[in-house]
């Protein structure tokens, strides 16, 4: 894991303002106590700790954030939020940053995670909730895994297990307030 701090040449506050205005997360409240990172179960796989991601936003280090694996590896478990003395919503910040990359800010460091993220959002936009069967089909085709027999078999077995437990539907179902969800997508993702 990379933990080195960047050399700061110039602080760009415009990015911090943009993030705070658009996401409504008070990122500037962070005083770098690192409690968030000490409880995060995903730091073993991340290139930067969550407190560093928050720091990069404060310093306007956009390129570091765009190139970072961390934003794609956050599991949204919310442990950091419960530990943060300033209640900074780091998973929401990670999602916001994912959205920035997905909508053209740069190349995702974890391409398959980004692809999964896109397919997930596409499914929620279409049905108001995730249709796992459609999500996995889209992901497998677009990631090229549909032509890897081992991957297909693993996913088919997993799907069968979920189906037996009633966790997988064969057809999508739409929620009642679908138009509200779609309007939200129009506001934030297009």
Q: Does 152 bind ligand SF4 (CB under 6 A)?
A: no
Our CB check for ligand SF4 shows the closer of 91 and 159 to be 91
Tokens 């459609």 sit on residue = 134
Our CB check for ligand SF4 shows the closer of 52 and 128 to be 52
Q: Does 61 bind ligand SF4 (CB under 6 A)?
A: no
Q: Which of 33, 45, 158, 175 binds ligand SF4 (CB under 6 A)?
A: 33
Residues between 89 and 118 with contacts to ligand SF4, criterion CB under 6 A = 90-91
Backbone angles phi, psi at 57, to 5 degrees: -65, -45
Q: Does 75 bind ligand SF4 (CB under 6 A)?
A: yes
Tokens 């943009």 sit on residue = 18
Q: Which of 19, 40, 57, 108 binds ligand SF4 (CB under 6 A)?
A: 40
CB under 6 A: which stretch of 77-85, 123-131, 137-145, 162-170 binds ligand SF4? Answer: 77-85
DSSP 8: P
Based on the number of CB atoms within 10 Å of its own CB, is 136 exposed (0-12), middle (13-18) or buried (19 or more)? buried
DSSP 47: S
* Residues near ligand SF4 (CB under 6 A), total: 26
Q: Does 168 bind ligand SF4 (CB under 6 A)?
A: no
Q: Which of 6, 12, 22, 78 binds ligand SF4 (CB under 6 A)?
A: 78
Q: Which of 66, 67, 86, 146 binds ligand SF4 (CB under 6 A)?
A: 86
Which distant-in-sequence residues (6+ apart) come within 8 Å of 120 by Cβ?
130, 135
To the nearest 10 degrees (0 to 180), the angle between helices 90-100 and 13-23 is 110
What's the rounded Cα separation, in Å, for the pair 184 and 84?
28
What's the rounded Cα separation, in Å, for the pair 93 and 158?
31
Which distant-in-sequence residues (6+ apart) come within 8 Å of 27 by Cβ?
16, 19, 20, 54, 57, 58, 88, 93
The nearest distance, CB 76 to ligand SF4, in angstroms, is: 5
Our CB check for ligand SF4 shows the closer of 85 and 144 to be 85
Site residues, ligand SF4 (CB under 6 A)? 30-36, 40, 42, 50-51, 54, 74-80, 83-86, 88, 90-91
């Amino acid at each position: 894991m990379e933990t080195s701090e960047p050399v700061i040449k110039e602080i760009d506050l415009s990015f911090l303002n943009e993030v705070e205005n658009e996401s409504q997360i008070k990122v500037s409240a962070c005083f770098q106590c690192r409690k968030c990172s000490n409880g995060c179960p995903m730091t073993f796989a991340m290139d930067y700790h969550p407190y560093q991601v928050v720091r990069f936003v404060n310093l306007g280090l956009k390129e570091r954030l765009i190139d970072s694996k961390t934003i794609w590896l956050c599991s949204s478990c919310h442990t950091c939020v419960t530990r943060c003395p300033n209640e900074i919503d780091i998973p929401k910040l990670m999602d916001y940053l994912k959205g920035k990359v997905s909508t053209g800010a740069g190349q995702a460091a974890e391409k398959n995670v980004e692809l999964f993220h896109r397919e997930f959002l596409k499914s929620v936009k279409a049905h108001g909730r995730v249709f796992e069967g459609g999500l996995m089909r889209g992901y497998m085709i677009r990631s090229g895994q549909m032509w890897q027999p081992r991957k297909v078999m693993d996913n088919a077995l997993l799907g069968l297990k979920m189906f037996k437990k009633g966790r997988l539907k064969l057809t999508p179902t739409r929620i009642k307030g679908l138009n509200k969800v779609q309007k939200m997508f129009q506001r934030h993702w297009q």
